[in-house]
Structure 1
């Protein structure tokens, strides 16, 4: 689910408001999607569009949302050109593109149009100016789980991350979260992103826990990466996961087979509000005949945000920030003034190979963990 890609930093001054919004107006939404993109992008695009149209139907009584889809072909330059076409055609707001390099290009292309770009990326490096990020960010997740860990007395943490861009972004997010919550990162251990790299670093992790008296280990890897190896090798190399709290910066319930790893039993991770997510998934399946892609719910969230901000004229980033809390497919969220996103997340524990919610997602942002 991580869409952290190299992208230019978009600058820009303070985010300003357009003025008061008038409810009940039609909003022209330009949705930039990789319809003809390579790999799995076309599948993601279809799910994002389906979710967006589901949201438009949900808010039909309070706002009229007209969605026009533009094919980016998964290319940043094409996305920028389509965005300019959309603005010329009268778009009030841009939803998409999928990836951060394309979103950065679109932000630059329409920077002088006072139109917000709601990117599906989770790369906070592109946030700011007219670009907002909708994806689940490392910073948001780290703030939630590290603050919870600190409150539970598990604040002496060994941080383990890959020596690549995603790993370094994750590392910085955890460090920042620790400084805010009073937790201590007693050791930071990078590893080469390979099987050999993981095998070689496992003894360093167990030694760091022992030498620093750490009572928690934060793994930033996901199930498609190094997480399964760490889950197996750390206990085999002497880490007592019954006394040292295992924590993750990614979803440990995706895919469900991850829940079966013995080394992750009792481990903590953050996830969206399960009730809201289940309701969205059920409605999506009933309407579209199957489950949404893991990223599909972001399309729903984008249109809910647009509908709640709906008014007359173009929609700037400041308008969306000023809207405040929005009820999305995975619970409450809001945009922050720097273009990033804050989502209400639950803390889950793996108990007997099942997900158990031990600290529910707050209904109002600003509650526990935020």
Structure 2
């Protein structure tokens, strides 16, 4: 339905991207995951299983599978003396197949599993190998499946909400209204924002939602706008994606008197994807978070040069996973791939910037805060380069 708004989904020389463990001192997260993991031979190539969604019959899954393999191999090429034996297994995007492939990978010697993509797959894969002490670094961003031997590498709503809420409060924007899609994703996003605003020292002054149809959004907009004004909200924090409900709901709120001069718009999702979103009049002046653009642009250029096509953003998670594995193996410890080592507080550096795996299986990423200005994306608060940085 929102395709009527005309938003369609939409790349040198080699630039070295360092893969290394951060050495800045940091507090270790409290661990609720198992601290275990298989011992590795530090003098041999480490067997790593990569689970990809190839075989589902969906063109989008084949693209994902190819890009994840490409990114992982690009990362392995940067490891220097650290050797990784990458073994690829196809899951067809199905939980049962993911579980079977995870078990097969461990049978064949894998010491850690990278992937799969989808939350139910990752949950099944983790369960299949939990009793064998092998950890799973999934590409999911669903924190509900994290814990035990399963970690999520994808950017979580909570991490994004925390970053933006801290920034907003530092700028004096403390009275925040939440507007969310009335679906599971929207509800998860709303909860993340509520928690983040409270932790940052702000106040959620109102919360409204809408059903996901054009007519329902149009019907709900006047009431949402009235609530934004009556609550004296300084900002409205949206859960909607820029290729879905966001263009319509933000424009309707502007049309109903929620003025850009008095009410900031903040986004839980990426407003630079698709690129056409930056041209929307209703988003001008709005804030959102994104990975370190400098590091990511280097990755994009290298990937384009190596493979002749632009990488999907999710592919960078495969690079980051290999980055973490390589950094730990480089330390020369036989317990490099245990939960205790994976959750080292100093974290890692990947092509999305700094990140660390937390004891509950989720992650913390160093994000930049950006603003839509004159139809372009401008970074207004850079991504931190260590976990002692301003973003944390």
TM-score class, shorter: over 0.9
- What's the counterpart of residue 110 of structure 1? 129
Contact 1:308/1:323 (<8 A) preserved: no
Tell whether 2:351 aligns with 1:339. no
Matches within 5 A, 1:1-370: 14-17=33-36, 25-39=44-58, 40-59=60-79, 61-310=80-329, 311-312=333-334, 315-322=337-344, 324-370=346-392
Structure 1 pair 22/345, CA: closer, same or farther in 2 (3 Å)? farther
Contact 2:40/2:111 (<8 A) preserved: no
Counterparts of 1:114 and 1:303, CA distance in 2: 19
- What's the counterpart of residue 20 of structure 2? none
The structure whose RCO (Cα within 8 Å, separation 6+) is larger is: 2
Q: Deviations over 1:176-219 (max 9, x none)?
A: 10111011111111111111221122112211111111110011
Of stretches 15-24 and 133-142 in structure 1, the one that deviates more from structure 2 is 15-24
Structure 1 pair 323/365, CA: closer, same or farther in 2 (3 Å)? closer
- In structure 1, the gaps of 5 or more residues are 1-11
Of stretches 266-275 and 359-368 in structure 1, the one that deviates more from structure 2 is 359-368
Of stretches 237-246 and 128-137 in structure 1, the one that deviates more from structure 2 is 237-246
Q: Deviations over 1:303-346 (max 9, x none)?
A: 10111112536823332112732111111111011110100000
Counterparts of 2:124 and 2:364, CA distance in 1: 24
Contact 1:145/1:369 (<8 A) preserved: no
Q: Deviations over 1:241-294 (max 9, x none)?
A: 122111000110111100011111010000111100001101111111111012
Structure 1 pair 153/23, CA: closer, same or farther in 2 (3 Å)? farther
Contact 2:290/2:367 (<8 A) preserved: yes
- What's the counterpart of residue 22 of structure 2? none
Structure 1 pair 179/115, CA: closer, same or farther in 2 (3 Å)? same
**Aligned-pair distance for 1:163?**
1.3
Contact 1:23/1:62 (<8 A) preserved: no
TM-score (norm 2): 0.88
Please give the secondary structure, in 2, of the residue aligned with 1:110. helix
Contact 1:24/1:63 (<8 A) preserved: no
Please give the secondary structure, in 1, of the residue aligned with 2:343. helix
Count of aligned positions: 358
Of stretches 305-314 and 34-43 in structure 1, the one that deviates more from structure 2 is 305-314
Counterparts of 2:346 and 2:128, CA distance in 1: 27
Q: Deviations over 1:27-62 (max 9, x none)?
A: 110011111124311111111110000000111x23
Of stretches 188-197 and 161-170 in structure 1, the one that deviates more from structure 2 is 188-197
Contact 2:114/2:138 (<8 A) preserved: yes
Counterparts of 2:39 and 2:120, CA distance in 1: 32
**Aligned-pair distance for 1:164?**
0.9
Structure 1 pair 155/62, CA: closer, same or farther in 2 (3 Å)? farther
Counterparts of 1:86 and 1:18, CA distance in 2: 15
Structure 1 pair 22/85, CA: closer, same or farther in 2 (3 Å)? closer
- In structure 2, the gaps of 5 or more residues are 1-30
**CA-based RMSD:** 1.8
Q: Which runs of 4+ in 1 moved over 3 A?
A: 17-25, 311-314
Structure 1 pair 14/313, CA: closer, same or farther in 2 (3 Å)? closer
